[in-house]
Amino acid sequence: MSRNDRLSGCLLVLFGALVLWRASTFPTLAGLEYGPGLFPAIAAIGLMVCGAAIGFGPRGRQPAQSTSTLPARQSGRWAAARPLALLAVVFGYGLLLDPLGFHVASFLAVFATGRVFGLRVTGAALLALPLVIGVHLLFYSLLRVPLPWGLLTPLAW
């Protein structure tokens, strides 16, 4: 992703305007001129001012962040596609967690993530299976988190 200041500035101004509009509909405190809308309005105005300064201020090339903890970015289509594929995995996990249950959904999520990062099919499956069992033991058995069973409800214990 390139550092597109004009775009992010515009988005901030737009978002600030939306928040300001919503905040103006909030009720006010009895006897005071402001209420629940005050702080959202402050944040919104701040976002609009900063957005304007970022998007429409003097242009300057930003240096690369010197605190990067990762190797340099790779350009190319696959590099941009991988984060999107991961977002799809998380989105799918959110959708499928309740209907499929924790175990099936987690297996699929780990498997898919492994594939996105370049694991082979068997490797991804070999990673996913023990990991799901381990997380089950840790969260369900030890921490007593009621993880949903979904499809596997008949097997639940």
Partner 1 sequence: MSASTLAALFSPASLAVIAACTLYGTFIGAMPGLTATMAVALLVPFTYFMDPLIAISAIVATTTTAIFAGDVPGTLMRIPGTPASAAYVEDAHRLSRAGRTRSTLMVSLFAACIGGLVGVALLALIAPQLARIAIQFSSFETFWLACLGLSCAVLTSNGSVAKSFASLFIGLFIATIGIDVAVGHPRFTFGYYELFDGISFIPAIIGLFALSEILRSAQARRGEQPASAAQEPFARALREAGRTLRRFKRNIARSSVLGTLIGALPGAGADIAAWICYAVSRRFSRHPERYGTGYIEGVTDGGSANNAAIGGAWTPALVFGIPGDSVTAIAIGILLLNGMSPGPQIFTDSPELVHTLYGAFALSNLAMIPAGLLVIMISSQVVRIPRRVLMPIVLLFSLVGAYAITNSVMAIWTVLALGILGYAMEANGFPLAPAILGIVLGEIVEENFMTSMMKAQGDLLAFFERPWATALGVLTLLLWALLLTRGIHESVRRRRHPDSSTTSQTDTAS
* Inter-axis angle of helices 77-100 and 102-116, nearest 10: 170
Among residue numbers 126 through 145, which ones bind partner 1 (CB under 8 A)? 127-128, 131-132, 135, 139, 143-145
Report long-range pairs for 109-112 (Cβ below 8 Å, ≥24 apart).
112/85
Among residue numbers 8 through 47, which ones bind partner 1 (CB under 8 A)? 8, 12, 16, 19, 22-23, 26-27, 29, 31-33, 35-36, 38-40, 42-44, 46-47
Rounded Cα distance between 78 and 70, Å, is: 18
Cβ neighbors of 21 (< 8 A, separation 6 or more) are none
Q: Report the residue number, 71 or 154, with the smaller CB distance to partner 1.
A: 71
Q: How far is the CB of 157 from partner 1 (least distance, A)?
A: 18
Rounded Cα distance between 77 and 85, Å, is: 12
- Among 17, 116, 125, 129, the residue binding partner 1 under the rule CB under 8 A is 116
Q: How far is the CB of 55 from partner 1 (least distance, A)?
A: 10
Instruction: Examine residue 80 and tell whether it contacts partner 1 (CB under 8 A).
Output: yes
Rounded Cα distance between 106 and 31, Å, is: 53
Q: Report the residue number, 31 or 154, with the smaller CB distance to partner 1.
A: 31
- Residue 129: closest CA among 110, 153, 149: 110
Instruction: Examine residue 100 and tell whether it contacts partner 1 (CB under 8 A).
Output: no
Instruction: Examine residue 154 and tell whether it contacts partner 1 (CB under 8 A).
Output: no
Q: Report the residue number, 89 or 155, with the smaller CB distance to partner 1.
A: 89
